[in-house]
Amino acid sequence: MLKDTRFPAKITINCQGRLLSLAEPCVMGILNLTPDSFFADSRLLEAGMLQSDALLHKAGEMLCDGATILDLGAYSTRPGASEISEQEEIDRLIPAVETIRKAFPDAFLSADTFRSRVARAAIAAGANLINDVGGGTLDDDMFRTVAELQVPYILMHMRGTPATMQLHTQYENLLADVAAHLLNRAHALHLLGAKDVIFDPGFGFAKTIDQNFELLRRLGEIVHLGYPVLAGISRKSMIYRSLGTDAAGALNGTTFLHAFALSAGARILRVHDVKPAAEAIQLYLKLGFV
């Protein structure tokens, strides 16, 4: 059997005493608690109110379809999205975390937030990981909070803010700049005592479409930095604009690029559509690389 020699035999992250193995790639299902996510079918907020039945149905469906992690986000980071207050983000996110934790006590839950106060509240409510699109650049207290809570942290590369990021797409060397940023931020986390860090190169965040494809084409170079890598490319504009469609028509392209990300060494696929991603992983494993 062929072996993927880029990884040690066992990769685990410690989720408050529960070990999550990344020895094989896994799926993170996206649960959007926003009214304006770029993919309309993923929204679980209606008229400003959380639809608890819809949330539980979607969460249960994702877990049955093969999701290992559920990623709950209450602040839309798409370009042009409306800003919301910290309290509004908490009011959206925390009831959802509590609802899913009660219904699915064994699920791994990730809180998608760049705010340390929201992160702290989410962990207290039952979340296991923090997924920060700002990589600690949007809240000076985030790294200290993660280190204090001793929870896994997904460190994403982004420049500027969600509102300004597409004004910051000039790089001397895209891969070198992204890699240096991720490594420097991870070093700062480790100095504070944080342990489990996952890299997300930030597809679509402060990057042009061509830069996104260059980043994906060379994703193995990010993998070789020695941290588990998350690929977040599901239904993004790099796919649907390249294909002349929209987010609703981007599933086939998403699945194709997921296969490429897996071949490059991605360990987590963050997705809207769990079953196709889980099947891609299943077939990837049949090739015998892991």
Q: Do strands 67-73 and 108-112 pair parallel, antiparallel, or not at all (unpaired)? A: parallel
Average pLDDT for 70-81: 83
State the pLDDT at residue 8: 44
In angstroms, rounded to a whole number, what is the distance separating the alpha carbons of residues 252 and 153? 30
Cα-Cα-Cα-Cα dihedral sign, residues 138, 149, 29, 156: positive
Whether residue 244 has pLDDT greater than 60: yes
- Tokens 């931020």 correspond to what residue? 185
**Would the pLDDT of 55 be above 80?**
yes
What would the mean pLDDT of 8-23 be, rounded to a whole number? Answer: 84
Q: Convert 175-210 to b/e letters by CB count within 10 Å (16 or more is b).
A: beebbebbeebbeebeeeebebbbbbbbbbbbbeee
Token representation of residue 217: 């084409």
Q: DSSP letter at 26?
A: E
* % of the chain at pLDDT higher than 70: 90
**Residue 51 reports pLDDT greater than 80:** no
Cβ contact 131:176 at 8 Å: no
| Mean pLDDT across the chain | 90
Catalytic residues: 236, 270
Q: What is the dihedral of CA 279, 30, 10, 148, to 10 degrees?
A: 180
pLDDT at 162 (0 to 100): 81
Cβ–Cβ < 8 Å for 88, 36: no
Calculate mean pLDDT across residues 105-122. Answer: 98
**Residue 201 amino acid letter:** P
pTM of the model: 0.92
The predicted pLDDT at position 258 comes to 98
- Is the pLDDT reported for residue 40 higher than 60? no
Q: Computed from CA positions of residues 114, 116, 118, 119, in that sequence, does the dihedral angle turn out positive or negative? A: positive
**Looking at the predicted structure, is the pLDDT value of residue 80 above 70?**
no
* Spatial CA neighbour of 34 closest among 9, 18, 51, 19: 51
CATH architecture for residues 24-286: Alpha-Beta Barrel (3.20)
Token duo for residue 37: 């996510």
Task: Identify the DSSP state of 138.
Answer: S
* For the chain, domain boundaries: 24-286
Amino acid symbol at 238: M
Three-state secondary structure call for residue 243: helix
Token output for 145: 């909070």
Tracing tokens 């402060």 back to the chain, one arrives at: 206
Question: Residue 52: pLDDT band by 50, 70, 90 thresholds?
Answer: confident
Whether the per-residue pLDDT at 112 is higher than 70: the answer is: yes
pLDDT in tens, 257-286: 999 999 999 999 999 999 999 999 999 999
29: which residues sit within 8 A by CB, 6+ positions away?
59, 62, 63, 65, 67, 69, 70, 71, 271, 272, 274
| Separation between Cα atoms, residue 207 and residue 204, nearest integer Å | 5
Q: How confident is the model at residue 36 (pLDDT cuts 50, 70, 90)?
A: low
DSSP-assigned beta bridge partners for residue 109: 70
Say how many C-beta atoms besides its own lie within 10 A of residue 72's C-beta.
Answer: 28
